[in-house]
Structure 1
Amino acid sequence: MPTKHDDPETLSRFTGSLVRRAQQRHVAVWLSVVSAEITSVQYAALEILQMTPGVNQRQLGDELDVDRSTIADLVARMVRNNLIERSDDPVDKRSYVLFLTPAGKKQLATLRPRVEELERILTARLTPAECLELRRLLLALLPLGE
C-alpha cells in the first residue's frame, strides 16, 4: 500500500510544499532544542556580529537577507534584550555600527552547541555528502548573488 509520500498526487511532489514542511520542522526543533526566546534569525545576527564586529545595520540586514524595516526591528529588539549594542557609525553619522554585548557573547556560546545539535537532528538520516548536496541545492533555489 503506498504511503502519502509515494502518491504522485500528494503535495510532496511540489518543491514549495516540501520546503515549507522542512521549515516547519526546523522551527519546531529550534523551539524544543535551541531556544524559545532567541529566533534563528537573531542567532544568525549574533554569529555575524561575532565574526564581523562593528558591521553597520544595513550590512547586517544584507547578510541576513532582510529588508530595512525588519532589520531595524530586529536590532531594536536585540538592543532591548541587551544582546547587542549600537553606536553611531564614525564614517556615516546616519548609520549605526553594531557589537555584541557581554550578554550577547554569553548567549551565543550557550546557543552554539544547541544549534549544532539541531543540525544533527535535522540531518540525521543524511550522509555527510547528502548534507553538502542539500545545502548546495537549497542555495541553488535562492536568487543569484545571495
Structure 2
Amino acid sequence: MPIKPEDAGALPKFTGSLVRRAQQRHAAVWLSEVSAEITSVQYAALEVLHETPGVSQRQLGDKLDVDRSTIADLVARMVRNGQIERADDPVDKRSYVLYLTAAGKKQLAALRPRVEQVERILTERLTASELAQLRRLLAALLPPQA
C-alpha cells in the first residue's frame, strides 16, 4: 500500500530518502520490464560502447562513474558473457580498449525498447517540462565530470 503524503512523516524532507526510494522503484521496474540478468549498469556499458567503440576500460569506468575495481569486474563479466571484447590499446600497451561483440550489439538492440519502457513507466506522471526539470535537478546533485 503506498504511503500517503500526510502519513509519510519526516522522511520526504530528506533528499537521500527520496532518491533511495526512486532507485528502489527503478530497480523493481527494471527487473519486471528488462532483465534479471542484465543490470542497468551493464546496459549503460553496452550503450557507451555502441556510441564510442574502442574506449579504454578506464574511460568506460569514468563514463559510468564507477571505480577501477568495479569496472574491471564489470568488463570481465561482460567478456565472459560474450557481450564485449577486449583488445590491447595500440597507444598504451598497459591498457585495454573495448568493443561490442555481435552478440552484444544484438542484445543492446533487443534491450533498448524495454529500457525505453522503463523510462515511460517511471516518468508517466510527469509532464515533459517536469521530466526535463527532474533530470536537470538530479544532474545538479552529482559531482561535475572531468
Q: TM-score range by the shorter chain?
A: over 0.9
Cα shift readout 1:15-44 (whole Å, capped 9, x = no counterpart): 100000000000000000011110000000
SS state at 1:66 partner: coil
* Distance across 1 between alignment mates of 2:11 and 2:42: 31
Q: Percent identity?
A: 77
CA-CA distance at 1:12 after TM superposition: 1.3
* Distance across 2 between alignment mates of 1:5 and 1:107: 40
- 2:71 aligned partner: 71
- 1:108 aligned partner: 108
- 2:127 aligned partner: 127
> What is the aligned-residue RMSD (CA, Å)?
1.3
TM-score (ref. length: structure 1): 0.95
SS state at 1:97 partner: strand
* Distance across 1 between alignment mates of 2:122 and 2:73: 29
Evaluate the alpha carbon distance shift between residue 141 and residue 35 of structure 1 in structure 2; reply closer, same or farther with a 3 A threshold: same
* Distance across 2 between alignment mates of 1:120 and 1:97: 33
Uncovered stretches (5+) of structure 2, i.e. residues with no partner: none
Q: Superposed, which structure 2 residues align to 1:16-31 within 5 Å?
A: 16-31=16-31
SS state at 1:134 partner: helix
Q: Superposed, which structure 2 residues align to 1:85-100 within 5 Å?
A: 85-100=85-100
Flag as ranges the 4+ runs of structure 1 deviating above 6 A.
none
Cα shift readout 1:27-74 (whole Å, capped 9, x = no counterpart): 000000011110000000000000000000000000000000000000
CA-CA distance at 1:143 after TM superposition: 1.3
* Distance across 2 between alignment mates of 1:46 and 1:102: 12
* Distance across 1 between alignment mates of 2:40 and 2:8: 33
CA-CA distance at 1:10 after TM superposition: 2.9
Uncovered stretches (5+) of structure 1, i.e. residues with no partner: none
SS state at 1:86 partner: strand
* Distance across 2 between alignment mates of 1:126 and 1:38: 27
* Distance across 2 between alignment mates of 1:6 and 1:136: 27
Q: Does 1:136 align with 2:136?
A: yes
Count of equivalent residues: 144
CA-CA distance at 1:145 after TM superposition: 2.7
Equivalent AA in structure 2 for residue 9 of structure 1: G
Q: Does 1:83 align with 2:83?
A: yes
* Distance across 2 between alignment mates of 1:39 and 1:70: 13
